[in-house]
Amino acid sequence: MSQDKIFIFDTTLRDGEQVPGCKLNTNEKVELALALEELGVDIIEAGFPISSPGDFESVSEISKVITKATVCGLTRAVQKDIEVAASALKFAKRPRIHTGIGTSDMHIKTKFNSTREEILERAIQAVKWARNYTDDVEFFGEDAGRADLEFLARVVEAVIKAGATVVNIPDTTGYCLPHQYGEKIAYLKNNVPNIDKAVISCHCHNDLGLATANSIAGVISGARQIECTINGLGERAGNTSLEEVVMVIKQHQSLGLYTDVKTVRLNPISRLVSDTMRMPVQPNKAIVGSNAFAHSSGIHQDGFLKNAQNYEIIKPEEVGADSSRIVLTARSGRSALAHRLLKLGFQFNRNAIDVIYEEFLKVADVKKEIEDEDLKALAAKYHPEVAVAL
């Protein structure tokens, strides 16, 4: 079966960097951009050049050093923004201008105090301005997740006619359910006459924890670009997490999709971004959390020790994570205890394990996690010669 490529548009340095406390300086942004290029992303959204002199400089410096990926700068549908972005991108080998405007009635009325017709004109005009500087112009219809479908389709058709090569359909507020977002993309595919002249892009926020599911629903319906961030960083509850969508696509080959991301680099880059942005990753985060490959309940540990695939659908080495861990807690069972004791050099028969296990549970009920030192002390009670030998 032939496979379709999904373009990975990384916005860690733009939407991700908007998170309070995650502000980066130019050197940090350049270092992360180089790591993103090594990871294999197709597009790096380097910043919002008109927003500050620092961001202008970052986009400009990133443009100088990135050789394979497209470098993108964000703008509003404002001529000055577009001129400034073009100037920041002037050294880029593959520059992209990402311009757009709100498309939901909520944004049109209460943010722009405008009308649908006026917004349509502004969208067309912005794309035309951007096309004066580059052939690679992406249009975003902000709050498309809540926009009227027929109006959204009109906007998409008009901006493609004006020269947009990518049309971004953001669920800016993370409002959509996966089937709704998927249907939105399918509607555009089926009702915009010139849609085959542009790539449809998914840009989903995580306010309801649905950003990954929505992006996947989007590509199932025909979108071919996903906008995402390392560790799912981004405004409010964050953006679609890059590591999650990449691994969903890799895991589910039946989707007929692939990305060019080198998955072994996912954990190293997650740590780099977390350290550089001073933003810890939640331990239970899929793919890159410290517990993503840790097993702590007796039932799971027993099954895992018999065959890792009983409880792991991804090998840790495939995503550059440390080896799987068996964590010993009061919920652990005898197999995990015996396994760890053996690793420490203590072999006991079944009866001895039963006795040590009772002692182990008493300690485990008091401590959150049993360390090797605790185990050695327990084992020593029953096996003094070995304990001394260690």
Stretch near ligand KIV under the rule CB under 6 A, chosen from 116-124, 167-175, 328-336, 345-353: 167-175
Q: Are 234 and 203 in contact (CB under 8 A)?
A: no
Rounded to an integer, what is the distance from CA 270 to the centroid of its chain?
10
User: According to the binding rule CB under 5 A, does residue 171 interact with Zn ion?
Assistant: no
Can you say whether residue 234 is alpha, beta or left, with left for phi > 0 and alpha for psi between -120 and 50 degrees? left
Q: Where are the alpha helices (DSSP H) in the chain?
A: 26-39, 53-65, 79-88, 105-110, 116-131, 149-162, 178-191, 211-220, 242-251, 266-277, 298-306, 334-343, 350-366, 372-382, 384-389
Stretch near ligand KIV under the rule CB under 6 A, chosen from 153-161, 166-174, 268-276, 344-352: 166-174
142 binds, among Zn ion, ligand KIV, none (CB under 5 to 8 A by kind): ligand KIV
Among candidates 341, 337, 347, 377, which has minimal Cα distance to 387? 377
Query: Which of residues 203, 265, 339, 340 is near ligand KIV by CB under 6 A?
Result: 203
* Chain position carrying tokens 């998955």: 263
Question: What single letter denotes the amino acid at residue 124?
Answer: I
Stretch near ligand KIV under the rule CB under 6 A, chosen from 25-33, 34-42, 78-86, 168-176: 168-176
User: According to the binding rule CB under 5 A, does residue 302 interact with Zn ion?
Assistant: no
Among candidates 156, 153, 160, 242, which has minimal Cα distance to 204? 242
User: According to the binding rule CB under 6 A, does residue 172 interact with ligand KIV?
Assistant: yes
Least separation in angstroms between residue 202's CB and Zn ion is: 11
42 binds, among Zn ion, ligand KIV, none (CB under 5 to 8 A by kind): none
Q: Which is nearer to ligand KIV, 153 or 292 (CB)?
A: 153
Alpha-carbon gap, residue 318 to 263, rounded angstroms = 6
User: According to the binding rule CB under 6 A, does residue 340 interact with ligand KIV?
Assistant: no
Q: What residues between 88 and 147 interact with ligand KIV by CB under 6 A?
A: 140, 142
User: According to the binding rule CB under 5 A, does residue 15 interact with Zn ion?
Assistant: yes
99 binds, among ligand KIV, Zn ion, none (CB under 5 to 8 A by kind): none
Binding flags for ligand KIV, 10-49, as an x/- string (CB under 6 A): -----x----------------------------------
Task: Specify which residues 166 forms β-bridges with.
Answer: 138, 199
Alpha-carbon gap, residue 316 to 293, rounded angstroms = 7
Stretch near Zn ion under the rule CB under 5 A, chosen from 14-22, 137-145, 180-188, 211-219: 14-22
Give the total residue count for the chain.
390
Interface with Zn ion (CB under 5 A): 15
Interface with ligand KIV (CB under 6 A): 15, 74, 140, 142, 168, 170, 172, 203, 205
